[in-house]
C-alpha cells in the first residue's frame, strides 16, 4: 500500500436512497440513525477496508446529509438515536488505514469536516428541537466516542465488554481529531486528571467507571437495553416537543444541487467558481425571484450552493490559496429576502431552519484554510446576509465609482443574527472592544446605502480605491498573497479571524489547526516507524523522546 494516495475529487452531496453506511428510520417523533458500515465500500475503492464500523469521509458525508435532511424534511422528529447496526461494536472511529495513506492536507480537512458535522448535530439539538442521543450498543473508541460526545446524552450497554475510549495517544501517537479532548473538559465538564487517565488508557472505561466519572450518562444491561434506550428517547422527544412547540407541518424536501462543469470551474444557479492557477473567484448572485416557502427559495438554495462550493474548494483544490468573493444583483432584493426570513422565524420552523443553515454556511467560510478577499465592485449586492461574506473575509476592497452607486448596506441582521463559532457577530469581531464603531455602522445602515468612501471611513472595508488604483492595487495584493507561505498564512489567518472570547467550538477548530497540523507531520506519528504508520503491524513504533 502506498504511503500517500492521490485521491480523486470528493462529492459532498448525498441522499438517503444512496446511503451505503447509515440506516435511517423514523417512527413518529423518534428517528434512528444506525451506523451500518459496509467494509468493502470505502470512499477510495479498493484502497482499504472499513473494519469494525470504522468510518472515512464518505461515511461522514452521509451523516452530514442525514442531519441536514432531518432538520428540513422531518420537523416532526424530536429525538435522534445514533446507534450501531452490528453486535458488540458501536464504532471503532476513523479508519486508520485511510488516515495512514492520506496526504497530510486530506487528514486535516477530513478532521475539519467531521468536526463541522458533529457541531451540526449539536446545533440541531440546540436550535431545531431534535435531541441527539448516543445509544452505544458496543465499544465506542476514538472517533466513535467523539461522535457520541457530540450527542446530548450518551448511554452505554453494560455487557461486561463494551467500553468507551480515546486511544489515539497511546496507540497512534496522535490526538483525537474531532473535538474529543475539548468536549470532555468544556462540554461534559470532566475533571482534567480523570480525562488524563482516560485518554492514556487505551482500553478505556467500561460502563461502571464510565458512568462514575461522567463519560456516559447512564448504562443498561443487555436484557434491558432496548427498553432503556426507548424510554430515554421518549423522554427526550417529549422534552423537545415542550421546548419547541412550533415545529409542526410537513417537511420540505431538499433536491440535489444543479451543478455544471465549465471551462474554468463549475457553476450553479446562484454561484459560480472560476479557477485560475492558485486563485479562485467565487461569484455569488442575489435573488432573482420573490421569497417562497420551499427549497428553491434564494435564501436556502443559494447558501446550499455556496456551502458545496466552499467544501469543494477546501478539499478538491488544495493549490488554490486565494478566494476572491464577488457578488452580483440587487441590494433591495437581498434585503427583501432577509426581511422575510427574519419576520417568519418565530412562527414558521422552516424559515428558522433557513436562517440556521445560512449561519452554518457562513461559519464554514470563517473556517476556510485559504485567504479570502471580498471585491466590492459595481453591480454588487453586499448587504445584510450577503454583507456577512465581506465581513468574514480577510480583506475587502471597494471600488469608488463616479456616481457613488457602488455601495454596501448594513442591516440589523449584521448586528447578531449570524453568530460566529465564538458566539460573537462579525461586526463585533471586526471592531473588538469598540462598540461605538459597531453602532456607527448599524446607524449608517439604517439611513440607507453606504458608499465606498463612507464604508472606508467607517472601517467596513480594508481600502476604497478609485479607477486609477483599483485594478493595480487588487492585482498586487493577490500576487503578494499567493507568493507567501501557505502554512504561515493559515496560522496567521486563523489567529486573526477569531479574536476575543472563545467557545467550545472555536477551541476545537483552533486546537485542530495547531495540534493536528503539527502532530500529523511528526515522525513519532507518521514517520517510517511512527505509531500511525505501523498500526496493525507486528513492529512497535519507535519514538523520539525529546520534548519540544
Of 146, 152, 305, 352, which one is the catalytic site residue? 146
Determine the Cα–Cα distance for residues 63 and 144; give it in Å rounded to an integer.
13
Task: State the pLDDT at residue 2.
Answer: 36
Determine the Cα–Cα distance for residues 42 and 49; give it in Å rounded to an integer.
7
The burial of 114, by beta-carbon neighbours within 10 Å (0-12 exposed, 13-18 middle, 19 or more buried), is given as buried
Query: What does pTM read for this prediction?
Result: 0.95
Residue given cell 493536528 in the structure block: 516
CATH code of domain 17-238: 3.90.226.10
Q: Is 156 helix (H, G, I), strand (E, B) or coil?
A: strand
Determine the Cα–Cα distance for residues 391 and 438; give it in Å rounded to an integer.
12
Q: Among 81, 84, 76, which residue's Cα sits nearest to residue 29?
A: 76
- Each residue's pLDDT tens digit, 369-401: 999 999 999 999 999 999 999 999 999 999 999
Task: State the pLDDT at residue 167.
Answer: 95
Nine cell digits for residue 364: 464554514
Task: State the pLDDT at residue 5.
Answer: 54
What b/e sequence results for 190-199 when a residue is b if at least 16 CB atoms lie within 10 Å of its CB, and e otherwise?
beeebbeebb
Task: State the pLDDT at residue 534.
Answer: 86
Of 168, 307, 353, 388, which one is the catalytic site residue? 168
Instruction: Please spell the DSSP secondary structure of 205-229, one letter per residue.
Output: EEHHHHHHTTSSSEEEEGGGHHHHH
The burial of 290, by beta-carbon neighbours within 10 Å (0-12 exposed, 13-18 middle, 19 or more buried), is given as exposed
Cα distances from 214 to residues 204, 250, 335, 437, in angstroms, run 13, 38, 47, 44
Q: Do domains 17-238 and 261-496 have the same CATH topology?
A: yes
Nine cell digits for residue 360: 452554518
- Contact between 232 and 180 under an 8 Å Cβ cutoff? The reply is no
Determine the Cα–Cα distance for residues 342 and 338; give it in Å rounded to an integer.
6
Domain boundaries, the chain: 17-238, 261-496
- Contact between 381 and 424 under an 8 Å Cβ cutoff? The reply is no
Determine the Cα–Cα distance for residues 383 and 407; give it in Å rounded to an integer.
9
Residue 45 designated active-site: no
Residue given cell 465549465 in the structure block: 262
Tell me the CA end-to-end span of the chain in Å, nearest whole number.
32
Helix (H) or strand (E) holding 185: none
Q: Among 212, 3, 166, which residue's Cα sits nearest to residue 99?
A: 3
Spans of the chain, pLDDT less than 70: 1-6, 513, 516
Residue 274 designated active-site: no
- The distance of Cα 127 from the centroid of its chain, to the nearest Å, equals 16
Q: Is 537 helix (H, G, I), strand (E, B) or coil?
A: coil
The DSSP call for residue 55 is B
- Using CA of residue 338, residue 505, residue 110, residue 188, what is the dihedral sign? negative
Instruction: Please spell the DSSP secondary structure of 436-496, one letter per residue.
Output: HHHHHHHHHHHTS-EEHHHHHHHTSSSEEE-TTTHHHHHHHHHHHHHHS-HHHHHHHHHHH
CB-based contacts of 421: which residues, under 8 Å, 6+ apart? Answer: 119, 363, 366, 367, 498, 503, 505, 506, 509
Number of H helices, E strands in the chain: 22, 20
Task: State the pLDDT at residue 104.
Answer: 85
Task: State the pLDDT at residue 1.
Answer: 32
What is 261-496's CATH topology? 2-enoyl-CoA Hydratase; Chain A, domain 1 (3.90.226)
- Contact between 306 and 341 under an 8 Å Cβ cutoff? The reply is no
Instruction: Please spell the DSSP secondary structure of 187-204, one letter per residue.
Output: IS---HHHHHHHHT-TT-
CB-based contacts of 519: which residues, under 8 Å, 6+ apart? Answer: 173, 174, 175, 525
Determine the Cα–Cα distance for residues 156 and 51; give it in Å rounded to an integer.
21
Amino acid at each position: 500500500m502506498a504511503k500517500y494516495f492521490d485521491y480523486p475529487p470528493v462529492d459532498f452531496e448525498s441522499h438517503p436512497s444512496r446511503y451505503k453506511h447509515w440506516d435511517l428510520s423514523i417512527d413518529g417523533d423518534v428517528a434512528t440513525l444506525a451506523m451500518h458500515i459496509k467494509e468493502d465500500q470505502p470512499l477510495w475503492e479498493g484502497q482499504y477496508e472499513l473494519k469494525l464500523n470504522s468510518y472515512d469521509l464518505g461515511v461522514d458525508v452521509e451523516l452530514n446529509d442525514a442531519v441536514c435532511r432531518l432538520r428540513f424534511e422531518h420537523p416532526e422528529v424530536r429525538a435522534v438515536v445514533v446507534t450501531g447496526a452490528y453486535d458488540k461494536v458501536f464504532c471503532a472511529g476513523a479508519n486508520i488505514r485511510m488516515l495512514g495513506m492520506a496526504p497530510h492536507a486530506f487528514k486535516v480537512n477530513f478532521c475539519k469536516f467531521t468536526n463541522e458535522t458533529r457541531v451540526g448535530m449539536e446545533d440541531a439539538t440546540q436550535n431545531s428541537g431534535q435531541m441527539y442521543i448516543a445509544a452505544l450498543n458496543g465499544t465506542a473508541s476514538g472517533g466513535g466516542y467523539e461522535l457520541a460526545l457530540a450527542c446530548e446524552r450518551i448511554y452505554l450497554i453494560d455487557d461486561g465488554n463494551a467500553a468507551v475510549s480515546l486511544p489515539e495517544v497511546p496507540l497512534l501517537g496522535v490526538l483525537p481529531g474531532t473535538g474529543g479532548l475539548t468536549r470532555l473538559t468544556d462540554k461534559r465538564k470532566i475533571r482534567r486528571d480523570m480525562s488524563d487517565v482516560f485518554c492514556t488508557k487505551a482500553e478505556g472505561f467500561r460502563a461502571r467507571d464510565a458512568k462514575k466519572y461522567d463519560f456516559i450518562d447512564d448504562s443498561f444491561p443487555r436484557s434491558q437495553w432496548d427498553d432503556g434506550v426507548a424510554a430515554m428517547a421518549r423522554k427526550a422527544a417529549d422534552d423537545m416537543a415542550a421546548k419547541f412547540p412550533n415545529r409542526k407541518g410537513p417537511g420540505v424536501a431538499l433536491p440535489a444541487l444543479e451543478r455544471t462543469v465549465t471551462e474554468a470551474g463549475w457553476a450553479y444557479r446562484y454561484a459560480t467558481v472560476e479557477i485560475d492557477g492558485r486563485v479562485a473567484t467565487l461569484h455569488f448572485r442575489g435573488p432573482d425571484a420573490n421569497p417562497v416557502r420551499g427549497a428553491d427559495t434564494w435564501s436556502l438554495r443559494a447558501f446550499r450552493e455556496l456551502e458545496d462550493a466552499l467544501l469543494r474548494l477546501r478539499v478538491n483544490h488544495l493549490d488554490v490559496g486565494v478566494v476572491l468573493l464577488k457578488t452580483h444583483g440587487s441590494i433591495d432584493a437581498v434585503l427583501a429576502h432577509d426581511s422575510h426570513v427574519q419576520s417568519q422565524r418565530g412562527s414558521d420552523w422552516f424559515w428558522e431552519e433557513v436562517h440556521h443553515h445560512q449561519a452554518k454556511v457562513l461559519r464554514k467560510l470563517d473556517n476556510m484554510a485559504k485567504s479570502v478577499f471580498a471585491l466590492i465592485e459595481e453591480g454588487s449586492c453586499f448587504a445584510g446576509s450577503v454583507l456577512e461574506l465581506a465581513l468574514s473575509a480577510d480583506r475587502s476592497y471597494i471600488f469608488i465609482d463616479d456616481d457613488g452607486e457602488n455601495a454596501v448596506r448594513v442591516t440589523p441582521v449584521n448586528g447578531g443574527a449570524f453568530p460566529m463559532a465564538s458566539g460573537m457577530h462579525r461586526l463585533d469581531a471586526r471592531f473588538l472592544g469598540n462598540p461605538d464603531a459597531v453602532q456607527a455602522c448599524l446607524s449608517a445602515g439604517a439611513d440607507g446605502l453606504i458608499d465606498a468612501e463612507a464604508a472606508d471611513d467607517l472601517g467596513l472595508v480594508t481600502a476604497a480605491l478609485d479607477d486609477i488604483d483599483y485594478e493595480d492595487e487588487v492585482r498586487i495584493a493577490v500576487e503578494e498573497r499567493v507568493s507567501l507561505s501557505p502554512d504561515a498564512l493559515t496560522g496567521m489567518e486563523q489567529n486573526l479571524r477569531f479574536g476575543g472570547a472563545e467557545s467550545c467550538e472555536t477551541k476545537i477548530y483552533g486546537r485542530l489547526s495547531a495540534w493536528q497540523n503539527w502532530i500529523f507531520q511528526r515522525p513519532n506519528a507518521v514517520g517510517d516507524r511512527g505509531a500511525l504508520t505501523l498500526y496493525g503491524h507486528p513492529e512497535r513504533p519507535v519514538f523520539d523522546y525529546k520534548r519540544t
